Amino acid sequence: MIIGAGGVALGCVFLWWALRAVDFTVMRDALRALNPSFVLLSCALYWLGLGCRVQRWHTLLNELAPVTRRAVGETLIVGYAVNNVLPARLGELFRADYAKRRFGLSRSAVLGSIVIERAADLVAILGCLALGLAAMQMATGEEGGTFARLLQAATLVVAALALGLYGLRASGRLPFGLPPAASRLVGDLVAGLRSLNRATLQRTVLLTAAVWMAEVAALWAMLAALGLQLTTTQAMLVLSAASLSTLIPTAPGYLGTYQLVFSATLPALGLSATLGVLGSALIQVCLFGSVTLAGFVLYLARSMHNMRPSRNEALLSGTDYRSR
């Protein structure tokens, strides 16, 4: 409750800050001239990226138990819908719980596979940020200032996270004693982390690259609908900054956070802050809004079936990953 209230308040502050740079006459004219073809293209590219995310998570979960792509897709979309209405990506915990009920796997084992997803995404985000910064430096001779410091800080976080996960995965336990129940949870989490192995690593890397290529293209298309022509590396820079901003616990749908990031990054690229704020709102409504709507429709449909897991989708191997 405290996190949620604080997030909403912070989002409102960010939104107010971003709107100070907005020319509402320019925004109105841009909406009148909006190109719907590019909006539809952006939506299609975004959902293509979601399809790649479904395939990636299916690859990881299949190492724990046989699951169908359809069920994995439902669970991922429902989880993303909840993510869009809760701060600090708390929807990932809901996704783990939903997968437990859907597949019969333990929450902690599923959470291990989600940690792998998010680690892969974070590496991809940093890659986009690094390429965008390199292109900016080549074009202007400037080092990128705030963006460069953001990249350095995020790289240190990723390195620490990677070392911690590698140590946990390799040893299978924490360096200090835990009560039996907690030890079993850690064991399940490690089992989830071990879904990334030689057989799944290459596919996970390729699918992560496909996800972010689709999302960069979706952002480019949405801004092109407003007449903003970004280069590929500029779109990568904006997307990476926006994605990192979603780690801050703010209002539902990243309201305020996204507006502030777009209003700050686009002028740094010589583009309109007003159109940046409008573009961020279109992304929230058309892209995040579409997956949120689809997720809640799927959740309501599943609720009507009392969340009974299908035997064909919850077949388990000899290893016990069931909830304790």
Q: What is the pLDDT of residues 140-191, one digit of tens each?
A: 555 555 555 655 565 666 556 555 655 555 555 544 444 444 444 455 566 6
Tokens 């790289």 locate to 155
pLDDT at 177: 45
Which positions of the chain have pLDDT values less than 50? Answer: 174-185, 312, 314-324
pLDDT at 246: 80
CB 116 within 8 A of CB 204: yes
CA distance 168 to 305: 38
Write down the pTM of the prediction: 0.81
pLDDT at 130: 81
CA distance 259 to 157: 25
Asked whether the CA dihedral 304, 91, 314, 179 is positive or negative, the reply is negative
The CA angle 7-10-13, to the nearest 5 degrees, is 150
pLDDT at 105: 86
Structure-token pair, residue 64: 């724990």
Q: Which residues contact 182 (CB under 8 A, 6 or more apart)?
A: none
pLDDT at 231: 92
pLDDT at 188: 52
- Crossing angle of helices 257-268 and 2-19, in 10° steps, is 40
Rg of the chain over Cα atoms, rounded to whole angstroms, equals 21
pLDDT at 118: 87
Least Cα distance to 169 among 185, 201, 198, 191 occurs for: 191
Q: Where are the domains of the chain?
A: 36-272+288-313
312 secondary structure, DSSP code: G
CA distance 116 to 57: 9
- The gap from C-alpha 158 to its chain's centroid, in whole angstroms, comes to 16
Give the pLDDT confidence of 101-143 residue by residue, as tens digits.
Answer: 888 888 888 888 888 898 889 889 888 888 877 777 666 555 5
Least Cα distance to 238 among 104, 174, 158, 144 occurs for: 144
pLDDT at 150: 58
pLDDT at 47: 98
Tokens 């952006």 locate to 42
Structure-token pair, residue 241: 């900054």
pLDDT at 322: 47
pLDDT at 157: 60
Tokens 């350095």 locate to 152
pLDDT at 179: 46
Structure-token pair, residue 28: 């109105």
pLDDT at 211: 97
Q: Count Cβ atoms within 10 A of the Cβ of residue 164 and give its class: 0-12 exposed, 13-18 middle, 19 or more buried.
A: exposed
